[in-house]
């Protein structure tokens, strides 16, 4: 199986929709600390059927799906 792309919205730190392309046979995910690299791996685990909150680095599966409150100025606050 080869993963070609991943679309995320409301998953952990990814509030806004994002699409990540995996163009080659082997890809690397790089970036500064706190930018969401591990959350991308968690999203791939989730799609493959991982049901362990601990494996997804969360206390419960409800924590995996980002709950957002949209306030008047259109900014989002994680609950």
Domains for the chain: give ranges and CATH numbers.
5-78 (3.40.50.300)
Residue 30 has pLDDT above 70, yes or no: yes
65 against 56, higher pLDDT: 56
Residue 77 has pLDDT above 80, yes or no: no
Reduced to 3 states, what is the DSSP secondary structure of residue 38? Answer: helix
Residue 19 has pLDDT above 90, yes or no: yes
pTM of the model: 0.68
Give dist(CA 16, CA 76) in Å, integer: 10
CB atoms within 10 A of CB 56: 20
What mean pLDDT do residues 29-57 have?
85
């Amino acid at each position: 199986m080869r993963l070609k792309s991943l679309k995320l919205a409301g998953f952990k730190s990814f509030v806004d929709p994002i699409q990540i392309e995996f163009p080659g046979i082997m890809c690397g995910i790089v970036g500064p600390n706190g930018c969401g690299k591990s959350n991308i791996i968690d999203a791939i685990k989730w799609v493959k059927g991982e049901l362990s909150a601990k494996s997804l680095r969360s206390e419960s599966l409800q924590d995996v799906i980002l709950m957002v409150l949209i306030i008047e100025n259109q900014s989002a606050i994680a609950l």
